[in-house]
Structure 1
């Protein structure tokens, strides 16, 4: 994290110039401005253009400073998240709980969220699990509510009945705590309670 926001990087792509990608990303992140703030501060060089109605996605200098410091911590953070994910997977897969594939020979996840899907439960049962976990001091979440279930999108005419797959992926989803401040004891406590509560359904 950079407190709020993030950074984007890429591996060089054969046949595509890195500088070309960089310039395109600058346009996308700076309202489509043809010059960044630093370029506009050079003597007599204030003139700029907006070449497309794009986005405001650049981070502040303060967040950039936090991000640079976080880069030094990042390998350790990834390692700890992977340890927790592997312990969760080992505990939950035998119960038939569906989990995301965070790691294989083709990709490595940042371990941002630990998403589970408990088979054959209703939305009410999912909510009951979350409440019981909360009663034991464990904050769970749901990622994410499909857009057609939210008022802004309902008001535009979207109906969740038209998106059965999105609904089915949402209705039994529970996100467990996953962050680097969890101790091994915390992880054991989460595992034991989740297993117990799910098994009692």
Structure 2
């Protein structure tokens, strides 16, 4: 649906570079957060939007302790290496060579192409990610078992739970979300406190972005 709307509004879009010209529409960017391993209609979440970002924070289902990654759908007419190099510049304070490239014979020279950011992942974090990647299928399977147990335990209670697995979508199983039907925030908070006393950690996810002060102002 979103893609059809974007196509309808493409006359409002003025491409500013070769990548935008090749896309020929307003780029669709997805916050995939903790959805690593999830899919929609057989398509992995990182390949649904034009560009997607994942979080690998310490509390996420797939973690490198901190950091994340960006993915993109192949764009006809654009070499993927071009996009990769652009991400490299944006994440490595505009430097056109990483540390490994500069260790090669005669390759110490480098340039700063722009005043960008310093948000590249460390090699140590990447190594953790590679190890996580090897064991991740088993982690996903275990989460699915846990979710099935929760579903069975809550099926007769007056609550609504998020659907994790259907013919259309497969969840990463990061969070088990429960809505207390017909209950207000005060009751919800009492449930949270009672569960905490029983040693069960819960939280409220997620506060809508427009409700935060930074966006209100």
After TM superposition, is the score higher than 0.5? yes
Alignment equivalent of 1:13, drawn from 55, 60, 74: 74
Alignment equivalent of 2:110, drawn from 34, 47, 72: 47
Q: Which residue in 1 is equivalent to 2:118?
A: 56
SS in 2 for 1:98: strand
Root-mean-square deviation (CA, aligned residues, Å) is 2.8
Name the CA distance, whole Å, in 2 between partners of 1:125 and 1:113. 21
- Following TM superposition, by how much is the alpha carbon of 1:138 offset from its aligned partner in structure 2, in angstroms? 1.0
Q: Which residue in 2 is equivalent to 1:158?
A: 216
- Following TM superposition, by how much is the alpha carbon of 1:126 offset from its aligned partner in structure 2, in angstroms? 0.8
Q: Give matches, 1:34-183, under 5 Å.
A: 34-42=96-104, 43-51=106-114, 53=116, 55-147=117-209, 149-150=211-212, 153=213, 156=214, 158=216
- Following TM superposition, by how much is the alpha carbon of 1:95 offset from its aligned partner in structure 2, in angstroms? 3.2
Corresponding residue pairs, total: 153
Q: Which runs of 5+ in 1 are unaligned?
A: 160-201
Name the CA distance, whole Å, in 2 between partners of 1:157 and 1:145. 12
- Following TM superposition, by how much is the alpha carbon of 1:24 offset from its aligned partner in structure 2, in angstroms? 3.1
Task: Report if the CA contact (8 A) 1:99-1:115 is conserved.
Answer: yes
SS in 1 for 2:206: coil
Q: Kindly tell me: are residues 32 and 110 of structure 1, through their superposed partners in 2, closer, same or farther at Cα, counting changes over 3 Å?
A: farther
SS in 1 for 2:194: helix
- Following TM superposition, by how much is the alpha carbon of 1:80 offset from its aligned partner in structure 2, in angstroms? 0.4
Name the CA distance, whole Å, in 1 between partners of 2:100 and 2:134. 26
Task: Report if the CA contact (8 A) 2:101-2:107 is conserved.
Answer: no
SS in 2 for 1:95: coil
1:24-56 Cα distance to aligned partner (Å, 9 max, x none): 332332234333232334425422123363x33
Q: Which residue in 2 is equivalent to 1:166?
A: none
Moved more, 36-45 or 132-141: 36-45
SS in 1 for 2:68: coil
Higher relative contact order (CA 8 A, sep 6+): 1
Task: Report if the CA contact (8 A) 1:40-1:48 is conserved.
Answer: no
More helix by share: 1
Task: Report if the CA contact (8 A) 1:78-1:110 is conserved.
Answer: yes
